[in-house]
């Protein structure tokens, strides 16, 4: 009986120590949090600037391609009912984000990104064919190099497209490259040469052992998009490396000294 109590006590201490030693990174989702409330728009230059000023570890943004092959920063695949990939960039010249900014090109967004202060969490959106996805990856690498941002300390890649992740893995060794689609276990993702996962909260809630499985392969583990206090605590305790959130101030408060800077 005493031995069982002692072992339980040792296990409890070990759990607390493991919990305290693990630093968790915060990624502000789509540039900033509660953008509309704050008077910005998600994926705007202003939203990235605010993430930089607040020194969140990461700031996420989404990249699409127009029919005349301009890379633009936007979340949805369409703007005012027009599909981005079937329209030229000029077709969006009058479009304004909710904070009055025009649709940022990747080049304009990276000009702000150069100012530093946050890791650029670069989401390459899945396209309708491999040719466009490959082109997007190649142009993205070119743009990052042109802005002095082609550096694994300054940028990580995420995508729902396995083709995009596999191309990044082949062309950008040393960069964190996270697969977003929760259709594969971490072991299966690793077997495809992809070194990270960024799964929805529900995936880790259902399969908490995936975090250990990923870490055994030295993969990075990111979870999206966690805004609820209890869910934030749960994910931090499970040992994720990064929490993507619309509520980075709340995550900062909950993590305290466990926040990875």
| Under rule CB under 5 A, residue 62 binds Mg ion | yes
Give whichever of 49 and 123 is closer to Mg ion, judged by the CB atom: 123
Q: Select from 45-53, 58-66, 137-145, 168-176 the region that touches Mg ion (CB under 5 A).
A: 58-66
Name the minimum Å distance from CB 4 to Mg ion. 47
**Burial call 59-80: b when 16+ CB within 10 Å, e when fewer:** bbbbbbbbeeebbbbbbeeebe
258's CB contacts (< 8 A; 6+ apart) are: 19, 20, 22, 23, 24, 236
Residue nearest to Mg ion (CB): 123
Q: Does 198 bind Mg ion (CB under 5 A)?
A: no
Which residue, 49 or 62, is less far from Mg ion as judged by CB?
Answer: 62
Residue 190 or 224: which CB sits closer to Mg ion? 224
Q: Which is nearer to Mg ion, 30 or 213 (CB)?
A: 30
Report CA torsion sign: 93, 97, 100, 103: negative
Assign 3-class secondary structure to the chain: CHHHHHHHHHHHHHHHHHHHHCCEEEEEHHHCCCHHHHCCCCCCHHHHHHHHHCCCCEEEEEEEECCCCCEEECCCCEECCEEHHHCCHHHHCCCECCCCCECCEHHHHHHHHCCCCCEEEEEECCCCCHHHHHHHHHHHHHHHHHCCCCCCCCEEEEECCHHHHHHHHHHCCCCCEEECCCCCCHHHHHHCCCCEEEEEHHHHHHCCHHHHHHHHCCCEEEEECCCCHHHHHHHHHHCCCEEEECCHHHHHHHHHHHECC
121 to 160: interface string for Mg ion, x by CB under 5 A? --x-------------------------------------
Nearest distance from residue 123's CB to Mg ion, in Å?
4
Q: Which stretch binds Mg ion (CB under 5 A): 10-18, 57-65, 97-105, 212-220?
A: 57-65
Is residue 42 close enough to count as binding Mg ion by CB under 5 A?
Answer: no
| Residue 60 C-beta: closest distance to Mg ion, Å | 5
Binding-site size, Mg ion (CB under 5 A): 2
Q: To the nearest whole angstrom, how small is the minimum distance from the Cβ of residue 229 to Mg ion? A: 23
Build a one-symbol-per-residue string for 80-119: x at contacts with Mg ion by CB under 5 A, - elsewhere: ----------------------------------------
Q: How far is the CB of 44 from Mg ion (least distance, A)?
A: 14
CB 159 → Mg ion: shortest distance, Å? 9
> From the CB of 157, what's the least distance to Mg ion, in Å?
12
Piece of 13-21, 55-63, 106-114, 204-212 that binds Mg ion (CB under 5 A): 55-63
Q: Which residues bind Mg ion (CB under 5 A)?
A: 62, 123
């Amino acid at each position: 009986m005493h031995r069982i109590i002692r072992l339980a006590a040792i296990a409890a201490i070990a759990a607390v120590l493991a919990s305290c030693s693990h630093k968790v990174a915060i990624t502000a989702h789509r540039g900033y949090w509660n953008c509309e409330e704050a008077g910005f728009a998600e994926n705007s230059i202003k939203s990235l600037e605010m993430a930089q000023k607040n020194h969140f570890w990461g700031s996420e943004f989404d990249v699409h391609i127009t029919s005349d092959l301009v890379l633009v920063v936007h979340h949805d695949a369409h703007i005012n009912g027009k599909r981005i990939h079937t329209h030229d960039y000029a077709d969006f010249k009058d479009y304004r984000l909710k904070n009055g900014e025009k649709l940022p090109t990747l080049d304009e967004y990276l000009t702000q990104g150069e100012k530093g202060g946050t890791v650029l969490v670069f989401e390459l959106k899945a396209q309708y064919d491999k040719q466009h996805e490959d082109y997007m990856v190649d142009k993205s690498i070119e743009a990052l190099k042109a802005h002095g941002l082609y550096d694994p300390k300054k940028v990580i890649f995420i995508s729902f497209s396995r083709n995009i992740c596999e191309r990044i893995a082949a062309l950008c060794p040393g960069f964190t490259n996270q697969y977003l689609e929760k259709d594969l276990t971490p072991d299966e993702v690793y077997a495809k040469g992809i070194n990270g996962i960024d799964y929805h909260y529900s995936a880790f809630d259902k399969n908490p052992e995936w975090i250990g499985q990923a870490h055994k392969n030295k993969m990075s583990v990111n979870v999206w998009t966690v805004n609820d206090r209890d869910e934030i605590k749960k994910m931090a305790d499970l040992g994720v490396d990064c929490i993507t959130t619309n509520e980075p101030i709340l995550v900062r408060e909950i993590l305290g000294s466990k926040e990875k800077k």
